[in-house]
Amino acid sequence: HTHGVIALLVLQLAEVCGLSEDVFIPLISAVPVSKKQSAADLCVSVKRLLQNGAVAAGGDLQSKTQALANQRDAVVEEVSAGRGVILFRLNKLILAQKLLEQLRSEPDVFGVKSELLHHLQGGRTLVEFSSPNIAKKFHAGHLRSTIIGNFIANLKKALGKEVIRVNYLGDWGMQFGLLGAGFERFGSQEKLRTQPLEHLFEVRSCVSFALAQVYVQVNREAERDESVRSAAAEFFRRLEQNEDQALALWRQFREITVDEYKRIYQRLGVHFDHYSGEAFHHHQTQNVLDVLMSQGLLKTTEKGTAVVDLSEAGDMSSYATLVRSDGTSLYITRDVAAALDRKQRFGFDEMIYVTDKSQTVHFQQLFHILQTMGHQWTERCVHVAFGLVQGMSTRRGEVVFLEDVLEEARSRMLNNMRQSSTELDVLMFIKCVCQDFRGPLMSDYKFDWDKVLQAHGDTGVFLQYTHARLCSLLRRHASETHSCCDVSPLVDSRSVSVLQHLLRYDEVLLQSANELQPRHLVIFLMTLSHLAASAHRELPVKGSSAAVAQARLCLFSAVRSVLANGMRILGITPVEKM
Ligand code: ARG
């Protein structure tokens, strides 16, 4: 593909310094628009240059790089020394030309296929996210996992990985005992089929309305009635032993719920390649236990449980329980089985789990067990943890279902807006995404309806608004050509700021990919939108000469495509009208 302006600089740098281009590629960064005191566009850290074997070039590096500026047709106009960095000021015409050329010929891979990101290409990434539980509450953490996991999957995909999206449903465990026992006591197949509307305004759970009633009632009764608790244990035991009738009921619960979830994921523009779940892997746990046993890693305790010693000294100062005293498996047992099965089935190169931080220890233990079993690939398993979302509740009480959040947003928004329902969903999602995405993932965040529903400010709506405005500008001038051969009208400070900012896109993607944090991308897109807004204000197309109009349209079209690509990675579908 076309070589960008950075590639050009790298080429020249490598040449004058007598080093390979690869050395320089990761060392060059764009000077952030906000930090500009000098007119420099790019910089190289001297320390990193030295660390990377440019020592030989050492002392006279400065004079060598200086030579760049003296070449004829040089991309570099001036080389200067900053604090610990060598600064390069680029020829703005070449900058504009190269960038716009690249953006015009390959708008969809701009940034993502750059030299800087080359090493990330290829390989298979499994991202497991959302993963709600079937007979338990859907909490805000599941929403956050859905949003973050979707972002990570999109990002990896954009960077050239083959991505497998897995939803690991909590579809096994004692909670099913409770639901099953409850259903056998006071559930009704009739209601399960019809889901009458009169139940709509009762407390809703993660399952269908009819199941919700059972869920609420059985949980209430289990609290004060021992016999309900033992019935639940009994039902779960029947499940564990593959008893037909119990399994049939379980299957029914699961199906109803998964269908419901699929509808909502679709509403949010999120999809999964695989719905798996604890139940499926439950059937593989015996195999895992056999392997552990044969490796001498499984120890039976006095209490009758089976554990894996995770302590360094082998003194059981830390361990994980894999089998309960009644012989049933646990959450972690199923996770070990699931990881092994996935590795075999999908042959992933890396696997990413996205959950709230309360599960950090669980995943540490899981990785530890896999490591102990001798699976080297565990090194490329990552748990992306995020903080808890506090205070997400609706007028009817605590959030129990994702749809409640959407409905609440809709009803609150309808007070001051009239929009079609899909637009509202998207809007709502964007707002969640952006409120969520600007901080570090690990910090807890307080959910704030007012902030989510704010029409102004730095939210996803602003991105959407900017995108729609650019689209309408480009639509209005659709008859004029956007291919700009003459970029000379783009050397004013506003155009240059936009171009300089675009130069940073691949670095921002790299940072997001390295840290698996969306905020770098969010902040980049917000800044891009601000720069675009002021450019749009100050650089009219209408009324300008043909050459100026064409160059500006070309710039706006470039901004639009980067904005759209970035938004899609975040999980926001850009709209063309608003
Ligand atoms: N279903 C779990 C929960 O809601 C999350 C599953 C996370 N993934 C895993 N492989 N354990 O808490």
Condensed to tens digits (0 to 9), the pLDDT of residues 331-372 reads 999 999 999 999 999 999 999 999 999 999 999 999 999 999
User: Which candidate in 92, 98, 113, 142 is catalytic?
Assistant: 142
- Residue to probe by mutation, ligand 1, list 136, 137, 168, 282, most atoms within 8 Å of CB: 168
Closest residue CA from atom 6 of ligand 1? 131
Is the pLDDT assigned to residue 506 strictly greater than 60? yes
DSSP-derived letter for residue 133 is B
Condensed to tens digits (0 to 9), the pLDDT of residues 175-227 reads 888 888 888 887 777 777 665 333 333 334 344 556 767 777 888 888 888 99
Q: Would you list the DSSP string of 60-111?
A: GHHHHHHHHHHSTT-SEEEEEE-SSEEEEEEPHHHHHHHHHHHHHH-TTTTT
Which residues does a 6 A CB cutoff place in the pocket of ligand 1? 128, 131-133, 168, 170, 335, 353, 355
Helix (H) or strand (E) holding 274: strand 274-277
What ipTM did this prediction achieve? 0.99
Instruction: Give me the architecture of the 460-570 domain, per CATH.
Output: Orthogonal Bundle (1.10)
Cβ pair 128, 277 in contact under 8 A: no
- Average confidence score pLDDT of the chain: 83
CA distance 25 to 321: 48
Domain boundaries in the chain? 5-90, 460-570
DSSP-derived letter for residue 541 is S
Q: State yes or no: is 283 an active-site residue.
A: no
Higher pLDDT, 11 or 392: 11
Condensed to tens digits (0 to 9), the pLDDT of residues 451-472 reads 666 555 556 778 888 999 999 9
Condensed to tens digits (0 to 9), the pLDDT of residues 373-429 reads 999 999 999 999 988 776 665 555 555 455 666 666 666 655 544 454 555 556 666
Is the pLDDT assigned to residue 51 strictly greater than 90? no
Here the tokens at position 50 are 């030295």
- pLDDT value of position 38: 63
CB count within 10 Å of CB 34 equals 8
Task: Using the mean position of ligand 1's atoms as its centre, give its distance from the Cα of residue 298 in Å.
Answer: 24
Here the tokens at position 147 are 């949003």
Task: Please tell me whether the overall predicted TM-score, pTM, comes out greater than 0.95 for this model.
Answer: no
Cβ pair 134, 170 in contact under 8 A: yes
User: Which candidate in 92, 136, 477, 482 is catalytic?
Assistant: 136
Is the pLDDT assigned to residue 11 strictly greater than 60? yes
5-90 maps to which CATH number? Answer: 3.30.1360.70
- Residue 398's SS3 state is strand
Span of 236-240, 308-312, 443-447, 515-519 with lowest mean pLDDT:
443-447
Q: Would you list the DSSP string of 202-265?
A: S---SS-HHHHHHHHHHHHHHHH-HHHHHHHHHHHHHHHTT-HHHHHHHHHHHHHHHHHHHHHH
CA 491 to chain CA centroid, Å, is: 36
- Residue 30's SS3 state is strand
Q: State yes or no: is 136 an active-site residue.
A: yes
CA distance 496 to 491: 6
Helix (H) or strand (E) holding 379: none
- pLDDT value of position 26: 85
Q: Would you list the DSSP string of 451-493?
A: HHH-SSSSSHHHHHHHHHHHHHHHHHTTTS----S--GGG-SH
Condensed to tens digits (0 to 9), the pLDDT of residues 272-297 reads 999 999 999 988 999 999 999 999 99
